[in-house]
Structure 1
């Protein structure tokens, strides 16, 4: 039964009528269109049907990358699904930031262009063969391992994430090119540990502290006239054993690299003057003699030649004798004692 009072009836239904009037229009028109999508700066919208469940597609102009959904759907609420996309310059943005996944794996930078995806990596990385969205570290040390030694690093190559660096053995410093190694001269820098009685000899990768003592030879006595030279005292008249002993003994220390190319002239020696008519040069039997040869290079000069390569590390000793003759009679002998320090490296 409806109320008989018309005013009462109106008052009872007025709240319901007001509630219906403020509801969205789609309750009355469920098949209405969505509003046209917003224009896409630096791109365009594909599709011109804006009815329920219909889609529109977004495409950026060349050189720009789509940020956001590629497709939006017209919903029952007469709104488009998702957020409004935008187009950003591909030169300043990428779909993957170069964040590090691990020290040797990073995310690649990928750009979508003309329905294809192009991924790149920062320097020192390459696209993974298993996943184009990942970049793996390039091991430069392994890459150049089979090439000519010294091309990448003179000594040791250490691979790092995205790069590499070179290291030198103890006693060497890295060159300005960050690849070569240079010997540190401890003797010149006064960083050695030699005593005042010792002679500091710089070697490749280190140094030696040597003591120079005059030899003891029967019937002959010697006095040190310089740090590297001993001279014989005058002999008693008629003492042939003393006269047969060297007039002077010089000490010569050299440092060479391993596997030096041969033949190589190591040094020359000469007589300041000659009293006799003949000057002879020869090697005395010591360790390492098989690696050397003494050759005359002038009337008063001879030279020590390395004829066989030496693999270091090694220490070789030999004596070079220079004899002064007069009508095949010995006037005097002069000995140079050579010590060769061979580095374990070829640099």
Structure 2
């Protein structure tokens, strides 16, 4: 009977930064992986009367009685080792493949002896009385080469060496796996030979899977005097409005909100037992947040004293009634807010061509510097350039003009203004054209209503 056993060790040979598969070692001089001759390097590689035959990447254990006569060149070589169905018999000759394929005669001497046998079963099987080939259980017959620390697992025609759960194969030995090192537990882990155990931090309990942890809801025990908020692994107490948390972190005491912060209300704070309220000055109402003051627009609501001939202008904290525009001669009205002095009128020679009336509001004490108004030329003439300046009304030097382009400038508030106050500025745009020897100007008469409060 022909019996052969291939034993494969699952290890990797390091060498000069290279790794080779089992059965090979790295040759630094050749700079490649070469076959390891297990028959020479392994003591007692084969048992009993079994002879060791080295192969590329492994070895065979063959009965010495089945070794054939020296190789005969006239024997035809098979292109590949022949395996047949055991029920169909087995060829008399079992030869290795000849490099290059083909079925020619002669060639290279095989690297191991040829075997001649009349056996009808392939390696790893035995012939039964009924003529069928049955698998040899090397694990049961103790004909395997597994390490004592390993577990033998029978396979069809052979066997494999493995380790029990909780161990892995390192250098031919089964060594304990440190599951804690690889994050088997969600929180706390204790390693044990072949096993491990998980536990949880305070505020957590172990789930039925014995690995993950579940948060404990401490609020179910009502540890707080008012409200309780469960957190991941702990809890927090909170208090009703008008109370603050005591030093013990669980009880609540009354809070005087108005004394706690002067910025609690935008205008004035009134404390109440367990609460507070904000009050706004006339012309404002308390906003939805209960703290801010919002301007009450008397012009939109109709809560004003303006006549039908007047125009209602709203500003922060109040309003004013604007009378209809009346242009002083030699100016004539060209629109609801613009007066013009015609160049054909000799009386207009030294006056601005147009006066445009504009109104705006400004909060008292507004932070500076602040851009508050934009002025720009609406008509451009070839060869002309423009000069922007404050002609009148800037007695306190609170404003200045900053030219932003060839045709535009910005009015800048440079000093805070306290209200209530009304400021009228004449912003002049001078047009100069040296080609046609022209110089003219236009004025925006800007009325600024400064509120009493900074909101």
TM-score bracket relative to the smaller structure:
0.5 to 0.7
Length-normalised TM-score, structure 2: 0.43
Match of 1:166 in 2: 278
Deviation at 1:227, TM superposition (A): 2.3
2:360 to 250, 254, 264: 254
CA contact (8 A) 2:429 2:442 kept: yes
CA distance in 1, matches of 2:415, 2:285: 29
- The C-alpha deviation readout for 1:147-195, integer Å capped at 9, x for no partner, is xx3xx11111111122111111111121111111111222233332212
Of residues 223-232 and 263-272 in structure 1, the stretch that sits farther from structure 2 once superposed is 223-232
1:336 to 413, 427, 444: 444
Aligned in 2, Cα 1:138/1:298: closer, same or farther, shift over 3 Å?
A: same
Deviation at 1:332, TM superposition (A): 2.2
Larger-gyration structure (1/2): 2
CA distance in 2, matches of 1:229, 1:289: 27
Of residues 335-344 and 321-330 in structure 1, the stretch that sits farther from structure 2 once superposed is 321-330
CA distance in 2, matches of 1:225, 1:198: 18
- The C-alpha deviation readout for 1:26-74, integer Å capped at 9, x for no partner, is xxxxxxxxxxxxxxxxxxxxxxxxxxxxxxxxxxxxxxxxxxxxxxxxx
Alignment of 1:63-82 (within 5 A): none
CA contact (8 A) 2:421 2:449 kept: yes
Secondary structure in structure 2 of the residue aligned to 1:224 = strand
CA contact (8 A) 1:156 1:167 kept: yes
Match of 1:175 in 2: 287
Length-normalised TM-score, structure 1: 0.55
**1:222 maps to 2:334:** no
Name the structure, 1 or 2, with higher relative contact order (CA <8 Å, separation 6+): 1
Alignment of 1:1-347 (within 5 A): 124=242, 138-145=255-262, 149=263, 152-216=264-328, 220-233=329-342, 235-236=344-345, 239=346, 241-275=347-381, 277-288=384-395, 290-327=397-434, 329-347=437-455
What's the Cα RMSD here? 2.8
CA contact (8 A) 1:269 1:303 kept: yes
- The C-alpha deviation readout for 1:265-303, integer Å capped at 9, x for no partner, is 111111111235121111113254510011111121111
Secondary structure in structure 1 of the residue aligned to 2:259 = helix
Unpaired runs of 5+ residues, structure 2, are 1-221, 226-238, 246-251
Aligned in 2, Cα 1:136/1:257: closer, same or farther, shift over 3 Å?
A: same
Secondary structure in structure 2 of the residue aligned to 1:297 = strand
CA contact (8 A) 1:214 1:222 kept: no
- The C-alpha deviation readout for 1:110-168, integer Å capped at 9, x for no partner, is xxxxxxxxxxx9863689xxxxxxx99642212223xxx3xx11111111122111111
Secondary structure in structure 2 of the residue aligned to 1:235 = coil
Aligned in 2, Cα 1:290/1:296: closer, same or farther, shift over 3 Å?
A: same
